[in-house]
Structures are given as C-alpha cells and as structure tokens.
Chain A
C-alpha cells in the first residue's frame, strides 16, 4: 500500500516526509514495545505505535523501517523529527487508537508481517 493511501485512510497528519508519500509498504506492525519491533520486523513495513521517543526512530533505523504512524494523537518532538529526517523517514500522526488504526489498514488490504519461524 502506498503511504499516501495510509495517510488518507487514517485521516493522519504527515509531520515529516511529505515528499515521500509515493513509497510502497508491504505490511504493517503494531507495537509499543521496541524490543518486539527489533525481534519481528524487517524493512518494507510501516510501524504503528503509541510510543513516542527517539528510541523509536533508532529502532526503525536499525530494521530499515521508512514510515512510522504515531497513534492516539501523539505528536513527535523536534528532536525526534530531526533524527527521523536524518534517516529519510516519513512520520505521521493519527487520532485513532492503535487497535482502530490497525483495523482500518487491515480491512483495506494491508497485511501484517508473517509469523516468525
């Protein structure tokens, strides 16, 4: 799914990377635990999270994530946005909860990542 479509479906505000909305992602992963992101996610995935700190960006950087959606109306600080910008990421924020955000994207055809072997 193209990131632009994700932003539209979630009625999200794009806070960084408005020029990269044509990027395509194959799956989504929802978690507030960065430990689990590190253990489960590989690139080409959008991260949906209610955790907002610089470690989220670092974590995304390590696993090659290019797009992060902050849920429950959480807005990243300037420090967080700066670090994400260095890494060429797209950041957006939606007022929906993590559950509803996941449900909207899933019901519109964006799959979850596969189960770990």
Chain B
C-alpha cells in the first residue's frame, strides 16, 4: 500500500508552471522525513522529466508514489515518441530549439542525469504513441 500516490499533469510548452510538480514532490518528501541526499536525487529527476514533458512532449503525467521502502515516478506522455532512444540517452544529444537554450536548457544532459540519479531507470518509447519512463529510488 502506498503512503502517498499523486498524479501531476504537465502541459506542453507550459514554461510558467515548470518545476511546480517537482517542487510539490520535493516538499512532500521533506515532510515525510526522507533523507536529504535521496530527496535531492528524486527532485533532480522529477524536474528533468517535467522539463522534458514541457519541452519535447505533447503533454503527459507524472505519477508519484511513496511506500516505506521506495519512491517511484512513472512518467507517461501522449507523443510524439523518441525516434532513437540510445541516441537520446547520450550526453550532449538534444533536439531542443534555440528558444529553450536561451532559457538555460537543452544541453542534452537530462536523460543521462536521470539514469545516474535513479536507483532504477527504465525508458520505452514508440513513435506516434508516446514515451514512458519509470524511475525508482530506495529510501530505506
């Protein structure tokens, strides 16, 4: 039984709200008394994936759940999908437009950073369908 289960909707191009879901996730974990090092890793992954939904996807959801042992983020979007996941996972590979770079993002660091910070990382993507990323963090 999860202690907490919450779903955050993230809209395409909604830069104004960027970080709101991740900030809520971070606050919730602080209240639960989870260790600060793992909270930082979870917050970084949540923010990276939230930004990717805003920048690259047509919109999606972050499903956040907490049990005694772990925190899970399941992230689903409604497209467009990633044509080559191996390439997307490489540091420095980005299709972000110039406008996104002007804001300080689009270095192609997000996906590899999520993989490094999560205890388990799983990505599936299908063109025309969408992308699903699952990240798990041990908090015990």
Interface residues of chain A, those whose CB is within 8 Å of chain B, are 32-36, 38-39, 42-43, 51, 53-56, 58-59, 61-64
The verdict on A38 contacting B44 (CB below 8 Å), with A58-B23, A61-B19, A61-B23 known, is yes
Contacts A/B (CB < 8 Å), 23 sampled: A32-B104, A33-B104, A35-B104, A35-B105, A36-B109, A38-B44, A38-B47, A38-B48, A38-B109, A39-B107, A39-B113, A42-B40, A51-B104, A53-B103, A55-B105, A58-B23, A61-B23, A61-B26, A62-B22, A62-B46, A63-B40, A64-B36, A64-B40
Would you give the shortest CB distance from A57 to chain B, in whole angstroms? 8
The verdict on A35 contacting B47 (CB below 8 Å), with A64-B36, A64-B40 known, is no
A62 touches B104 (CB 8 A): no
B19 touches A58 (CB 8 A): yes
The verdict on A55 contacting B103 (CB below 8 Å), with A36-B109, A61-B26, A62-B47 known, is yes
Chain B residues near A63: list those with CB within 8 A.
40, 43-44
From DSSP, what is the main secondary structure of chain B's interface residues?
helix
4 tightest CB-CB pairs across the interface, nearest first? A58-B19, A35-B107, A34-B104, A62-B43
Cα distance, A58 to B105, chains bound together (Å): 12
Q: How large is the interface on B (under 10, 10 to 19, 20 to 34, 35 or more residues)?
A: 20 to 34
Q: A32-B104, A62-B43 are known contacts; what are 13 more A-B pairs with Cβ within 8 Å? A: A34-B105, A35-B105, A35-B109, A35-B110, A38-B47, A38-B110, A55-B19, A55-B103, A58-B22, A59-B47, A62-B26, A63-B44, A64-B40
Most chain A CB neighbours (cut-off 10 Å) among B48, B104, B112: B104
From DSSP, what is the main secondary structure of chain A's interface residues?
helix
A58 touches B40 (CB 8 A): no
Chain B residues near A35: list those with CB within 8 A.
104-110
B107 touches A43 (CB 8 A): no
Chain A residues near B109: list those with CB within 8 A.
35-36, 38-39
Would you give the shortest CB distance from B31 to chain A, in whole angstroms? 15
**Does B118 make an interface contact (CB < 8 A)?**
no
A43 touches B40 (CB 8 A): yes
Chain B residues near A42: list those with CB within 8 A.
40
Would you give the shortest CB distance from B16 to chain A, in whole angstroms? 8
Cα distance, A62 to B18, chains bound together (Å): 12
Chain A residues near B15: list those with CB within 8 A.
55
Chain B residues near A51: list those with CB within 8 A.
103-104
